[in-house]
């Protein structure tokens, strides 16, 4: 019996007059499910339905632009500074979750200023629940691409990524940690925890609590898993902590601070009319 898994999945799901890759499909499914999850929370709290479409535009734009620019500036600035047009070639790969996180934070702040007129924390505490699910699905997409895997391992669930050039160059004949799955499992578990907190414990009544738990639940596993993950770029080889870990530390600290702050301040009572606001309510909003 083999003590490893041979991973030979084609990253392209449909290759015809239109090409559909598993990664893109996971991304699209994540946004679709995330939209519906946030819609149910918005309806539960009786806010205008039109906020959903506006928020979707902000988040989609911020995710793609921020993740791309994060990769450009954090990981491969030497290349892109000399080849700026390559920044637009997003189909060639190169997205950084930390960059996407920063961009989404900025987008939510702008969304709050121009649309909700509420504290950005109100939006963060609801949006991040969906983002945890999207993060897990994106890591499944990474698995389908045979990318972002870990060091060699003798564990029975090690994967041989035979479609990966990196695997052939570095680990030919050896199984590797499927770190994409490790992260995906963590993010799906976090999604379940945040859903329980919001729907069963009304954690939205403690501003910042869900957001803080999200930061810890996303970036602490990321920090730990990086120890067995291959470096994304060559310059990380001489670093004690790689770029992903260094970028994760501020988010972990921020998450701990938000959880402490939320638990040491009074709970804010929220009404739950379980319907979208009508036209009069929209005008008042």
Per-residue pLDDT of 182-210, as tens digits, reads: 999 999 999 999 999 999 999 999 999 99
Residue 215 lies in a domain: yes
Strand pairing report for 19-21 and 12-15:
antiparallel
pLDDT category, 281, cuts 50, 70, 90? low
Q: Which domain holds residue 91?
A: 21-284
User: Is 45 part of a structural domain of the chain?
Assistant: yes
What per-residue confidence (pLDDT) applies to 283? 52
How far apart are alpha carbons 227 and 240 in whole angstroms? 10
For residues 128 and 120, give the distance between their C-alpha atoms in angstroms, rounded to a whole number. 12
Q: How far apart are CA 82 and CA 130, in angstroms?
A: 37
Q: Is residue 35 part of a domain?
A: yes
* Segment (H or E) for 137: helix 120-144
**How many domains are there within the chain?**
1
Note the maximum CA span of the chain.
Answer: 67
Angle in degrees, CA 32, 24, 210, rounded to 5: 45
- pLDDT score for 7: 97
**Residue 20: beta bridge partners?**
14
The per-residue pLDDT for 204 is: 97
Residue 229 β-bridge partners = 150
In a domain, 8, yes or no: no
What is the C-alpha separation between 115 and 129, in angstroms, rounded?
A: 20
pLDDT band of 285, cuts 50, 70, 90: very low
What distance, in Å, lies between the first and last C-alpha atoms of the chain?
Answer: 63
Please determine, for residue 90, whether its predicted confidence score (pLDDT) is greater than 80.
Answer: no
Query: Where residue 262 falls among pLDDT bands split at 50, 70, 90?
Result: very high
Distance CA 238, CA 178 (A): 23
Top pLDDT among 249 and 237 is at 249
What's the mean pLDDT in 122-136?
97
What pTM value is reported for the model?
0.91
C-alpha separations of 22 from 61, 77, 91, 149, 167 in Å: 21, 28, 13, 17, 20
Q: Which residues of 239-249 are buried (b: 16+ CB within 10 A; e: fewer)?
A: eeebbbbbbbe
Residue 12 in any domain: the answer is no
The two three-digit tokens of residue 137, written as one number:
């699905």
Q: What is the pLDDT of residues 153-180, one digit of tens each?
A: 999 999 999 999 999 999 999 999 999 9
Q: Are strands 5-7 and 12-15 parallel, antiparallel or unpaired?
A: unpaired
Average confidence score pLDDT of the chain: 92
**194: in domain:** yes
Q: C-alpha angle with apex 26: 214 to 47, nearest 5 degrees?
A: 55
Would you say residue 13 lies in a domain? no
Residue 244 covered by a domain: yes
């Amino acid at each position: 019996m083999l003590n490893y898994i041979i991973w030979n999945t084609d990253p392209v799901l449909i290759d015809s007059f239109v090409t559909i890759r598993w990664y893109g499909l996971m991304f699209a499914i994540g946004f679709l499910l995330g939209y519906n999850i946030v819609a149910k929370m918005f309806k539960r709290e009786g806010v205008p339905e039109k906020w959903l479409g506006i928020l979707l535009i902000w988040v989609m734009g911020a995710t793609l632009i921020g993740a791309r620019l994060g990769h450009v500036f954090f990981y491969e600035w030497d290349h892109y500074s000399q080849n700026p047009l390559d920044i637009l070639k997003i189909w060639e790969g190169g997205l950084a979750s930390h960059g996407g996180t920063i961009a989404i934070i900025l987008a939510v702040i702008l969304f709050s200023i121009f649309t909700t007129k509420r504290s950005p924390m109100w939006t963060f505490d609801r949006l991040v629940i969906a983002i945890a699910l999207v993060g897990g699905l994106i890591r499944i997409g990474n698995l389908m691409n045979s990318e972002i895997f870990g060091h060699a391992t003798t564990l029975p669930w090690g994967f041989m990524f035979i479609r990966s050039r990196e695997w052939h160059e570095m680990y030919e004949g050896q199984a590797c940690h499927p770190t994409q799955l490790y992260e995906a499992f963590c993010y799906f578990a976090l999604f379940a925890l945040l859903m329980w907190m919001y729907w069963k414990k009304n954690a939205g009544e403690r501003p910042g609590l869900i957001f803080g738990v999200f930061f810890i639940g996303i970036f602490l596993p990321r920090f730990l898993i990086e120890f067995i993950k291959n470096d994304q770029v060559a310059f990380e080889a001489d670093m004690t902590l790689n770029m992903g870990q260094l970028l994760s530390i501020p988010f972990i600290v921020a998450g701990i601070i938000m959880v402490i702050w939320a638990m040491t301040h009074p709970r804010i009572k929220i009404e739950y009319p379980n319907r979208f606001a009508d036209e009069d309510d929209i005008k008042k909003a």
